[in-house]
Amino acid sequence: MEHEAPLYENAFGISWLDFNLSNVFMLLITAIIVFILGVVASRNLQRKPKGLQNFMEWVVDFVKGIIGSNMDWKTGKQFLPLGLTLLTFIFVANILGVITMVSVNHDLWWKSPTSDPGITLSLAAMVIILTNYYGVKMNGVKEYGKGFFKPLPFLFPFKIIEEFANTLTLGLRLFGNIYAGEILLGLLAGMITSGVGGAIGGFLPMMAWQGFSLFIGAIQAFIFTMLTMVYMAHKLSHDH
């Protein structure tokens, strides 16, 4: 079945400004879930953690490991909130469409927000802008600018192209994996609802693919966070 995006067109009276209401709704849902997880995990902290607190402390240690593998902890500890936010937010966003997809009057409202290239490319662009910001902040404008002309000045155009290439690859990698997973889940759901034979033949593949999609969602969140720290470490070095 074909689905369309629910659009709010001509926002604020601007003819070219349209909003995908599903993306706005799902990003809000993702943010609320991550916020609730953080609040619940940090309530009634215990010296010997258990339950959700224990899991979140494991996630924090995991992010520390990602940062520590790319830069020294003295420099990298300031990026722990960034890494933790990216990992949890992207993971939750990735799996929302795995749980279920909901359409109303052929408008797809409930899905993974990361299955939209506009969302993933925006995340990637924010990461690249942030890495450049910290590069300037930590090294100074003059020293940071010199890095674009090293080791040879004629490489400057290629360094600029690299910034755009990093944005595209970071965003499209995440989008491609999540979107492909949702397409297959949609096909299997259509097969299950086609009749008794389709339900019998599609139920087990659906369960298997949902489990695999959870794994893919976690891996893609890890890859995005890891590459963010790789790019950050590269910008903070004096020979970027």
| Higher pLDDT pick, 129 / 7 | 129
Residue range 95-117: mean pLDDT, rounded: 79
pLDDT number for residue 213: 83
Using pLDDT thresholds of 50, 70 and 90, give the confidence band for residue 233. Answer: very high
For residue range 111-156, what is the model confidence (pLDDT) as tens digits? 899 999 999 999 999 999 999 999 999 888 888 888 888 888 888 8
For residue range 9-22, what is the model confidence (pLDDT) as tens digits? 666 676 666 777 88
| Higher pLDDT pick, 126 / 2 | 126
Cα–Cα–Cα angle for 11, 13, 16, rounded to 5 degrees: 65
pLDDT number for residue 131: 94
pLDDT at 1 over 50: no
Which two structure tokens, joined as six digits, stand for 232? Answer: 């950050």
| Torsion angle of the four alpha carbons 49, 30, 97, 63, in this order, in degrees rounded to the nearest 10 | -50
pLDDT at 183 over 50: yes
pLDDT number for residue 225: 96
The reply to whether omega before 151 is within 30° of 0 (cis) is yes
DSSP-assigned states of every residue in 173-210: HHHHHHHHHHHHHHHHHHHHTT-HHHHHHHHHHHHHHH
